[in-house]
Amino acid sequence: MSHVGTDDSMSDDVFEDDTLRAPAQHSAPSPTGYRDYKPDDTIRGIVEEDVPIHKTILLGDSGVGKTSLLVQFETGKFQAGNFSATVGIGFTNKVVTVDGIKVKLQIWDTAGQERFRSVTHAYYRDAHALLLLYDVTNKTSFDNIRAWLGEIREYAQDDVVIMLLGNKSDSGLERAVRREEGQRLAREYQVAFMETSAKTGLNVEAAFAHVARSLVAKANPVDPSRLAVRAQPSQEHRSSCPPCS
């Protein structure tokens, strides 16, 4: 793992195994490369149970914070420092409990660079859920979302769960994409939307919980109101708007 610089933000994704061979599910190190990573014991506790694995892929341009988001979700911590870009694809497992139901997510962290795009395409077809990220401080990463969604429509299953995430929402004055723009794009493509912060943890667990809840709903149809996005408002909106749905 190559750490570069001492900045407080993680500017890129991390996974340096370019063999594309899946690691052992319960003994391999985390693909995030987080130095204090320990395998999730909840996985071991339900291995023998009949809990299906849901393949969930993180997508988006390089540098939008896919690995940062996964580190925050996997460990509950933000690791300061910049990292070299993800090379290839790696995964980790996480169990999420929603409405009393355990959902086993196999979360894949992908390279965002164009030269790895054909490799990423191969993983779309059997994906159950896709989390598509852009960086709210990087307008280009937002503008590229339409291209990502076009690829998803071409390569993924028709019923795949898709969620759009505007990451780095803690960035304040550096923001280049308004929350309303993200909401508008999500409505256009009829996908769920949240703003997240891998640094503060805002809506990170909520995003994966929404994905898990949507996956459960696919197998067990429920009242649509139960699938409302349960996001916390970002700091800049807390004083001026009610909790976002």
The arithmetic mean of pLDDT across residues 209-214, rounded, is 97
All residues at 6 or more sequence positions from 17 whose CB lies less than 8 Å from its CB, including other chains: 23, 31, 87, 88, 90
Residues 151-199: tens digit of each pLDDT: 999 999 999 999 999 999 999 999 999 999 999 999 999 999 999 999 9
Q: Which two tokens stand for residue 162?
A: 């898709």
What would the DSSP string read from start to end of 51-65? --EEEEEEE-STTS-
Domain with residues 3-237, CATH architecture: 3-Layer(aba) Sandwich (3.40)
What would the DSSP string read from start to end of 226-239? GGS--PPPPGGGTT
Q: Which two tokens stand for residue 24?
A: 């052992």
Dihedral sign computed on CA atoms, order 92, 95, 134, 11: negative
What is the spatial distance between Cα 245 and Cα 232, in angstroms, rounded to a whole number? 9
This model's pTM is above 0.75? no
Taking the alpha carbons at both ends of the chain, their separation in whole angstroms is: 38
Residues 60-88: tens digit of each pLDDT: 998 999 999 999 999 998 876 554 554 44
Confidence (pLDDT) at 35: 47
